[in-house]
Structure 1
């Protein structure tokens, strides 16, 4: 029988920075709570929690047939929680608890079973380890692994795949960087029976409606966003919003301002020495409404990327935004200083209202020749490329099954392909390996290639549409992870960042339309513009670009070069046999000279190296 450690809150004598819960099901002994940990329900001692939690972040309800634990931002009131829980259990349909507005993890417990449901973006994951006696589960990966008795050893294969194949989500699905520990992914459910049998499934698989019109989808998106923002504003308290000048955060800010009498505090970040083209848009948009009060947060040399890495507090799992930690902390300090408690942002919109370039392959695969030709010409013109080259990529993708894409990736890894990516590489299941492949050790490259090749055998050798939907769902999960990490960084400041685009109902509204129909040539975010044309000033919806922070990245690398060099010379990833530090150092030197750099992969590498040092 699986049993919990006697001290799940602090098995190594430390106190967790973040609140959480930990449990075992079925359980045959009482769990002794330690420190601030206590039982969630007196008659269920094998489920404990510790805080402090934000107001409304940790809630529970019960009825004669069972009980539910809700963690995250559930916008339903207590009465609805109780009423809907009772109805769901009477109908033997526990999945109905996923229909409340908001974004949250729900755990339903009855005499017969435990069933857990994650949110659709994976913003509130559940970690678990199953054995013959049942499941140990929790929101803290390190505490869950220790309580399950599996230790906290890193899984080199997952680490390598996360850094070098991050765009291939099927490789490490449900696995974590801790060996033996699994994650319940976005839109998944876990059922554990009273006898210890375990079942995992997708309770909300992507199911676009081929009959839905773009106008109807826009209406659904508008209604879902209205509810998501209005419910947060109705709870009272101090609310603020991001206001970068981009379409996503700007739209959320205008929606929120509709519900206030006094001006809404909104924040735009700007570095005077490395402008990202955001400030002018933010200033212009703020002048469009007297209900907005713009605060400009100005960066300094100390808030550039890669600064103060030695002080970066590692979360339970690697944080790929660690390299911009000081910039994010600066923004959060300003929000907190003006009294902000709930801070709204636009995270998640890019995954929902932008069709990835792979949608061109779906147009080819569904025989939409006229639109395919028109869109390939538009993209070729925008990118100063050949329409024929774009069309060739689209047709090739339409004929490539996932198995074929995986086999091609394995072959490229084995050869050690390393090149600058081209924009047309995005018209694919995932981009081809980039320059970062050259950082892998020979043994790690072979290990990763063998793993990808073996994984290919699990997929059918048939092509079909839906590549863009696959890519968009992966991007959505990444947005969920980004938002979760930002939320943890914000705890010491007393700020709760929230992203209405990541609410379950907003996700359902957007994904009802196939990804290839969310695009209209090179028009920028047509679905969002249509949805909000009566809510947001037309001038604020005209921007076609996003902020470019590469200037800050290059300045940051130059300023932090001695620290980065020292870290790489004593790399934990090298100790695992995964990278050749000299190759990474050579890339750093090229970056210092102004050469093109795979910054996303480099940021993942830095994050993992810091995390390995923390858990090692």
Structure 2
């Protein structure tokens, strides 16, 4: 498997220098294309079909400081550019290609694509991890799980100049379109390219996830039009029969090879088998490693593995789009859509509407201040979570904080409320969601490496994200049609697929996994550094775990999942620190 790390500045790593960048090191077998002309230099590292001639022409953009232009090629990659005095480095919009950096006093700034390459101890930032568990990570897109190490947020690049502090440069580059139809044509074109150029370049059979959902199914259909595909599907006694039926129908439609893996108790979530790699950050997928190892085995060693990861973010939108309507003064339209949405789901629109109005009235900064006030006043109960979209939700995770933990998280929220982030609800939410799925994709990299899988995420390519986000969130939020952008963009997809409205879930598997491993998970939580440092109260987590394991509260599952993988990840980090000492 390839390794695509880079490090620059004063980061001390072994490796091969990139042409034109004498102080930037890369892994020996990293894919890199670089050009230089005097003081101008440009390198693209990763999965990108850019040609040498295109790179040479792009040197003019480097000279003129038109940095967004360096991120508009297909694929998934890092960019490093220099015009002699300044250095620019960035990953992708989703953050699957991370860039970490740290200040080193007179030595300047060190940056790297993996935190471990920065040459400093990796000490977990426990208050931030507690905040991440209780109110979400999207309030601090620039923070990493480690003390003293910052992360360049997805949608930004890092500009470095001698004697100047590091500067974050916006590279989002979204050009809005007027209507869905106009944006759909462009989206269909770039999604086709994102899938098919990789399949053609592989030159032989490629692997693909096929859950039966719209996102993975669409990717498989597009891939089958460009080459040979071997799809794999996981199923067990808890899996939706509808998912399996759609997966089977997709394979019949495309004629591809398809392997279905029937899981057992050994593949239930939260088993954390011996030898499972840990990774640089806690990710939800860590709990599913046994399942991944089982169903992906037939496609081990293939040149790439397509996934539908990220499709929900680019193809759909949350109810934050109705908050945006309220922010724009379109109250009547917002109310009409909320009522229609509630009726389709046979729920009362009142609580939903109230929550959305409150989100619009408070805004991002006001919502964070309000959440901080609530944490400082005293314990938070899980029932405090509201229906509908919220800038900052205090749910089950917040109820597990100690008094000390609540004050730590409140302080972080107050600091974040003053950060410069958009106050437009739909824009804030889509970027937060995109960075979250990007983090899970990069976090899965060590698991894929250990399984012999090279995952690719076509829905997270810059070209695909830009084409999707150019379409207003409100237009992507279908009331009658599910994911209307996909249907409009790819009319060649079969109607029986794009007309599907349901979506599969692993909730039943997670409940079974919690029940199967409850004793071990309780011990894992109780022994966590989060408990040792007085941030989390294990006596508050224990009944929630027991309740979820009995299947009595599905609303607890997401917070428990995050808590468990964080505690498991921290146990390995603690062992690594102790070994280093």
The normalised TM-score by structure 2 is: 0.91
1:454-493 Cα offsets, whole Å, 9 max, x none, are 4334579xx96x3022111111111111222233311233
User: Are the aligned partners of 1:141 and 1:317 in contact in 2 as well (CA < 8 Å)?
Assistant: no
Equivalent position of 2:80 in the other structure:
107
SS of residue in 1 equivalent to 2:477: coil
User: Structure 1 pair 18/412, CA: closer, same or farther in 2 (3 Å)?
Assistant: farther
Offset of residue 329 of structure 1: 2.0
Among 245, 262, 267, the residue aligned to 1:303: 267
User: Which position in structure 2 is the counterpart of 1:418?
Assistant: 381
Matched, 1:329 2:309: no
Aligned to 1:9: none
Offset from partner CA, 1:180-218 (integer Å, 9 cap, x none): 11111111121112x231342342247562x51110011
C-alpha distance in 1 between matches for 2:290 and 2:408: 35
Whether 2:203 is the aligned partner of 1:230: answer no
Q: 1:380 to 1:478 in 2, by over 3 A?
A: same
Return the alpha-carbon distance in structure 2 between the equivalents of residues 91 and 459 of structure 1: 26
Residues 38-53 of structure 1 aligned to structure 2 (within 5 Å): 38-41=16-19, 45-53=22-30
Task: Give 1:435's aligned residue.
Answer: 396
Shift of 1:51: 4.8
Counterpart of 1:452 in structure 2 is 413
Contact 2:4 2:46 (8 Å CA) reproduced: no
- Segments of structure 2 that go 5 or more residues without pairing to the other structure are 575-581
Once the two structures are superposed, residues 198-254 of structure 1 have per-residue CA deviations (whole angstroms, 9 ceiling, x without a partner) of 342342247562x51110011111111122122112212332222211111111111
SS of 2:211's equivalent in the other structure is coil
- Matched residues in 2 for 1:439 and 1:18: separation? 39
Alpha carbons 1:188, 1:200 under 8 Å: kept: no
Deviation at 1:373, TM superposition (A): 3.7
Q: Which residue of 2 aligns with 1:96?
A: 69
Kept in 1, the 8 Å contact 2:279–2:444? The answer is no
Query: Aligned partners of 1:237, 1:80: CA distance in 2, in Å?
Result: 27
Residues 1:611 and 1:390: Cα distance change in structure 2 (over 3 Å): closer
Q: Counterparts of 1:428 and 1:72 in 2: how far apart (Å)?
A: 36
> What's 1:196 paired with?
163
The answer as to whether partners of 1:276 and 1:549 remain within 8 angstroms in 2 is no
Kept in 2: contact 1:184–1:190 (CA 8 A): yes
Q: In the alignment, what sits opposite 2:155? A: 187
Alignment of 1:202-241 (within 5 A): 202-205=169-172, 207=174, 209=176, 212-235=178-201, 236-241=203-208
User: How far apart, in 2, do the equivalents of 1:246 and 1:421 lie?
Assistant: 32
Could you tell me which runs of 5 or more consecutive residues in structure 1 were left unpaired when the two chains were aligned. 1-15
How do 1:396-415 and structure 2 match up within 5 A? 396-414=358-376, 415=378
Select 1:268's aligned residue among 233, 236, 245.
Answer: 233
Secondary structure at 2:444's aligned position in 1? Answer: helix
3-state SS of 2:534 partner: coil
* Larger mean Cα displacement after TM superposition, 43-52 or 503-512: 43-52
Structure 2 residue 252 is the aligned partner of structure 1 residue 284: no
Q: Is the 8 A contact 1:307 1:326 kept in 2?
A: yes
1:407-444, Cα deviation, whole Å (9 max, x unpaired)? 2211232332222477x6333224x2112222212211
Q: Does 1:553 align with 2:510?
A: yes
In the other structure, the counterpart of 1:6 is: none
Contact kept in structure 1, 2:2 and 2:29, CA below 8 Å: no
Q: Which residue of 1 aligns with 2:35?
A: 61
Q: Which residue of 2 aligns with 1:177?
A: 145
SS in 1 for 2:123: coil
Distance, in Å, in 2 between the alignment partners of 1:539 and 1:406 is: 43
Q: How big is each residue's C-alpha offset from its partner over 1:389-412, in whole Å with a ceiling of 9 and x where there is no partner?
A: 433333333322212111221123
Secondary structure (helix, strand or coil) at the match of 2:387 reads helix
| Alpha-carbon distance change, 393 to 552 in structure 1, aligned in 2, over 3 angstroms | same
In 1, the alpha carbon distance for the partners of 2:353 and 2:545 equals 36
**Aligned 8 A contact 1:127 1:137 in 2:** yes
Cα RMSD for the two superposed structures: 2.6
Q: Secondary structure at the match of 1:288?
A: helix
On the 8 A contact 1:242/1:267 being kept in 2, the answer is yes
Q: 2:262 and 2:33 mapped to 1: Cα distance? A: 38
Report if aligned partners of 2:235, 2:262 keep a CA contact under 8 Å in 1: yes
Q: Out of 110, 126, 139, which is 1:136 matched to?
A: 110
Cα 1:315–1:51, aligned 2, differ >3 Å: closer, same or farther? farther
Q: Report the secondary structure of 1:399's partner residue.
A: helix
One of 362, 375, 381 as aligned partner of 2:337: 375
Residue aligning to 2:355: 393
Aligned: 1:606 with 2:564: yes
Q: Name the CA distance, whole Å, in 2 between partners of 1:152 and 1:103.
A: 27
Give the 3-state SS of the residue equivalent to 1:105 in structure 2. strand
TM-score by length of 1: 0.86
- The residue that corresponds to 2:463 in the other structure is 505
In 2, the alpha carbon distance for the partners of 1:593 and 1:555 equals 9
Distance 1:529 1:288 in 2: 17
Contact 1:352 1:511 in 2 (8 A): yes
What's the CA shift for 1:90?
A: 4.2
- Label 1:333 to 1:421 Cα distance change in 2 as closer, same or farther (>3 A): farther
Task: Tell me what 2:325 maps to.
Answer: 363
CA distance in 2, matches of 1:329, 1:421: 38
Structure 2 vs 1, CA of residues 250 and 437 (structure 1 numbering), >3 Å: closer, same or farther? same
For the 8 Å contact 2:94–2:435, the answer to whether it is kept is yes
